[in-house]
Structure 1
Amino acid sequence: MARQVVLCDAAGRPTRTADLSLAHSGDGLLHLAFSVYIFSPDGRSLLLQQRSMRKRLWPLAWANTCCSHPRLGEPAVEAGRRRLREEMGIDCELKPGPGFVYQARDPGGRGAEHEYDQILVGTYAGEPTPDPAEVAAWEWMGLESLQTDLMARPERYAPWLHAGLPRLLVPGGPLELAGGE
């Protein structure tokens, strides 16, 4: 059976399921997603991943630590921890941050994203052991350097990172959410 995603309304309420390929075709069908942001314990660096060349959408783009789709009935935090283990070899506590809707067409014409994206935040102090089928490379990047590079080379980064990161860089930002220092 083809992989399914959970379609939703603009408030993130599930409506039905659809085939993943269909949800990412054309302008995309609005569906549930999550984006995991793992920060260093001091909150100054974010663990980034470069998406595998095998990814249909935004291959080799740099993105937040991990992102995917929850299964039907699976809470976002559980889904985030599951995919964080599978993609990056990391297990840590995650806390929900803000959710938001974004839509973007892949620059290579391979489809689109239209997601209600639930941000999940955690801290970690080690090195990941990523799955090479999912992750081409990884890097801890300082937040100031990341913000500068996002402006200088926006095409290098996935659109959900552009949309999500500013929602965390506010008073009481990521470490308060993650329960860090």
Structure 2
Amino acid sequence: MHDQVVLVTENDEAIGLMPKLEAHEKGVLHRAFSVFIFNSKNEMLLQRRAFGKYHSEGLWSNTCCSHPLPGESAHDGALRRLGEEMGIQAELEFLYTFQYRADLENGLTENELDHVFLGVSDAVPVIDPAEASDYKYLTIAEIQADIAQNPHAYTEWFKICVPVIAREIGH
């Protein structure tokens, strides 16, 4: 079950399951989520994806991102993975959903209907080294400046989300 993704229509209707790697090899639209955690200083918690991940290894990204399990809501999946990847529990607010397609290394393609959640926590992350190799806190302005200088250091979905997140939180 953990290596299956939920295939969806553009209206987020589940239409089947597929192994995660196969879905990325074929570029099939599937459900995903992205979590953005801010601390009380209004800094975003970023994670550096673990080296050895099947795509986007070593790139900086939002606090947590993954795929809900079959039968699991995007919200419940986001809560579960936030705990598994970063050792954090937080209330999550749904912000929006967007669809994107991006060609990645190794001939893989992201084609996701991504559910975006926002939360606040001052908990110290306890990262799962299989998922994340590092973490840091940055303000939205610092993130935007660094993406402008080093766009290849960040995941594709993160670069799409940052301007929307900045508007959502009033930056």
Give the TM interval when normalised to the shorter protein: over 0.9
Q: TM-score, normalised by structure 2?
A: 0.94
Q: Kindly indicate whether the alpha-carbon contact (under 8 Å) linking 1:56 and 1:110 is maintained by their aligned counterparts in 2.
A: no
The equivalent residue for 1:113 is 110
The equivalent residue for 2:3 is 3
The equivalent residue for 2:83 is 85
Q: How far off is 1:110 after superposition?
A: 4.4
The equivalent residue for 2:161 is 164
Unaligned stretches of 5+ residues in structure 2: none
Q: Percent identity?
A: 35
Unaligned stretches of 5+ residues in structure 1: 176-181
Whole-angstrom CA distance in 1 between matches of 2:8 and 2:163: 23
Aligned counterpart for 2:129 among listed residues 117, 120, 132: 132
Matched AA of 2:68: P
Q: How far off is 1:42 after superposition?
A: 4.0
The equivalent residue for 1:147 is 144
Q: Kindly indicate whether the alpha-carbon contact (under 8 Å) linking 1:71 and 1:79 is maintained by their aligned counterparts in 2.
A: yes
Matched AA of 2:35: V
Q: Kindly indicate whether the alpha-carbon contact (under 8 Å) linking 1:57 and 1:110 is maintained by their aligned counterparts in 2.
A: no
**TM-align CA RMSD:** 1.5
The equivalent residue for 1:36 is 35
Q: How far off is 1:126 after superposition?
A: 2.6
Matched AA of 2:57: P
